[in-house]
A and B are shown apart, each in its own frame.
Chain A
Amino acid sequence: MFNKDSWREIFDTIRKNKLRTFLSGFTVAIGIFIFIILFGFGNGLGNTFQSFFNDDKSNTMFIFPGVTDKPFKGYKSERRIEFDNSDLKDIQQQFDYYLESITPRISDRATVKFKGEANSYSIRAVSPAHQYNEMTIMMKGRYLNEDDIKNKCQYAVIGRLVKQDIFKNIDPIGQYLHAGGHSWKVIGIFQDDGGDREERMIYVPYTTYQKIQSRNNKIDQIILNYNVEIGYEGAMEFEKNLKKFLKNKKDIAPRDSGGIYIRNLANDMKETQQFASVLQLIISLIGIGTLIAGIIGISNIMVFVVKERTKELGIRKAIGASPKSIILMILQEAIFITTLSGYIGLIAGIATLSLIGDTLEKNYFITNPYIEISTAIMATFILIVFGALAGYIPARRAARIKPIIALRDE
């Protein structure tokens, strides 16, 4: 029955029953359209949520020294613990298996001057690995490297906003800026998704900083990234062992709750992921709900369409249409209309999403709304199948009715 003639018969029917065609097509198109928009918005919300946590790598641990609470091995309590370069080396040696990267961090603040401009900025003295765990993105020039550390170069990598504030239109690469009574050669500009504060930052080699500040080997904190393959449990284990090792080294009582603090982002990450999966669940529920509403809509219309055509189907049967040809005719028509209008809804939905783009980011927390094309096609397909099914059931009943009964239907 799928020949040119049966198509012609269907196009004929469609053309001459515009309202009916429009109603069923519109239901499908609007269903798919709303599905795509809502799903896209949900994904956009998820994107915004993700971006809140983009500042640091999630497999990061921050280790801070603190003040002891308990006396131990002849030391009094309230003793201030300090980290130095040897701690960095020891951790590296002891926990090589767990480690991906490690960096010290010395934080300071200084007035930074360039020509007439001056402003106060945070300075971080770090090693090259810091780029990785802060997820610093280089825009121009380069980040610090191992040679800079070894040679104690007076180099600085400045944030995008530092450049904007004090260099204005001058290309800062190769220029010298003054901070804390020393001059630093700018070797790179970076950006950071962590926000404005992160982009008003200046990175310098920690060895250089230790030298010029006469801080000897002292460092403020240690930041490390562990191998993600060790998983959440492994990260917890690593944290425990690391704390034990440092307490032992610094002569801190094993039960002392002070002295060493470790902030393990794996904890934050667990909550973040839970929140994200709840968000995903809500998005999926919205999607399924919309789809069900669409299915009910198209089913209603199909039932109505077949009901409306009962008499016509009776006439067709009286003049020689077989039940099979009746069912095929209705199915073919239903599938054709739902496929075509589903496609229109799909294109319109995706076009609208890309048109919206980032315009809703500021006020509605919807960043870059999108839908995987496979999800969109799947949804369209489901609607087509259910549209066909919703047409098939009444069509089969109509095809079974004796023509004499169908003809009586006024």
Chain B
Amino acid sequence: MIKITDLHKSYHIGKNSLHVLKGINFNVNEGELVAIMGSSGSGKSTLLNIIGMLDVADEGTYTLDNIQIKDMDETKSAQYRNKFLGFIFQSFNLINYKTALENIALPLYYKGLKRIERQEIAMQYLTKVGLADWATHLPSELSGGQKQRVAIARAMVTQPKVLLADELTGALDSTTSAEVMDLIQKINNEGKTILVVTHEEDISMMCKRIVRLKDGVIVEDKVVNQIKATTHV
């Protein structure tokens, strides 16, 4: 599903150049649930952003679903993001003046679906994350866990190939974290490929594979015995 070879990325801040990714080689197969671990500054979020086409690499190749992602203009990458990728952010990033249902339906708007269809599909996903009763509520009226579940529904609504989650439990307490991770595991069990960036050990243990980054290189890549999020509570 994802093939990355010899990926480099530097940031230039003033005169200083910061070499964040120093040659990453990394493959993900369909249906995997991968945790990308590392302390802050290890380059894990940068890697996720490149995979998510929110950022571009300086060197190396990146293939997503057999399509090489290279030199894409904004319009094209927006199209690909809409089609192949779903994002889940630490700070939820819901649009604050839209209701839960409207937030979920928005990617479908950019996909070009009709309004009726959009609302139908969005409602299905809202039901799937267990928030059907909250459809008309604004994000400000939802709890952190509920917001993140809305964000997950929004990420899944276009049926992307890969879900990318950046510290998705970072703003949640441990009970809520477990609930959200339970949802992630269920979605994964249905066959969706998911990448989770985290610095929390217990979250990474709920994944099926852990990739550990340190100073821009992969130092460990191991398959683990997945812990069920439900047992964790």
Contacts and interface: CB of A to CB of B under 8 A. Distances in A.
Interface of A: 5, 8-9, 12-13, 16-17, 311-312, 314-325, 399-400, 402-404, 407, 410
Given A8-B115, A402-B54, A404-B49, A320 B74 contact: no
Nearest to B45: A404
Contact of B54 (A321, A325, A400, A403): A403
Interface string B71-113: 0001100110111000101010111111000100011011100
B54 A315 contact: no
Q: Which 9 A-B pairs have the closest CB atoms?
A: A320-B82, A320-B110, A16-B97, A404-B54, A319-B107, A322-B75, A322-B78, A323-B74, A315-B93
Given A402-B54, A403-B54, A404-B54, A320 B111 contact: yes
18 contacts: A5-B114, A5-B115, A16-B97, A312-B96, A316-B95, A318-B81, A318-B93, A320-B82, A320-B83, A321-B78, A322-B79, A323-B75, A325-B110, A399-B74, A400-B74, A404-B49, A404-B55, A407-B89
B54 A323 contact: no
Interface string B151-162: 000100010000
Interface of B: 49, 52, 54-55, 74-75, 78-79, 81-83, 87, 89, 91, 93-98, 102, 106-107, 109-111, 114-115, 154, 158
Nearest to A404: B54
Contact of B79 (A13, A320, A399): A320
A403 to B, nearest CB: 5
A397 to B, nearest CB: 13
B93 A407 contact: yes
Contacts of B94: 315
Contacts of A315: 93-95
Nearest to A324: B75
Which of the listed residues B74, B98, B115 has the most CB atoms from chain A within 10 Å of its own CB? B74
Contacts of A319: 81-82, 87, 106-107, 110, 154
B54 to A, nearest CB: 4
Contact of B106 (A316, A407, A410): A316
Which of the listed residues A320, A322, A404 has the most CB atoms from chain B within 10 Å of its own CB? A320
Contacts of A12: 98, 102
A403 B54 CA distance: 6
A312 B103 CA distance: 11
A180 to B, nearest CB: 88
A323 B74 CA distance: 7
B74 A312 contact: no
Contacts of B75: 322-324
A322 B74 contact: yes
Contacts of A324: 75
Contacts of B98: 12, 16
A244 B107 CA distance: 92
Nearest to A4: B115
Given A318-B81, A402-B54, A402-B55, 19 more contacts: A5-B114, A8-B115, A12-B102, A13-B97, A16-B97, A17-B97, A311-B93, A316-B106, A317-B74, A317-B78, A318-B87, A319-B107, A324-B75, A403-B54, A404-B49, A404-B54, A407-B54, A407-B89, A407-B93
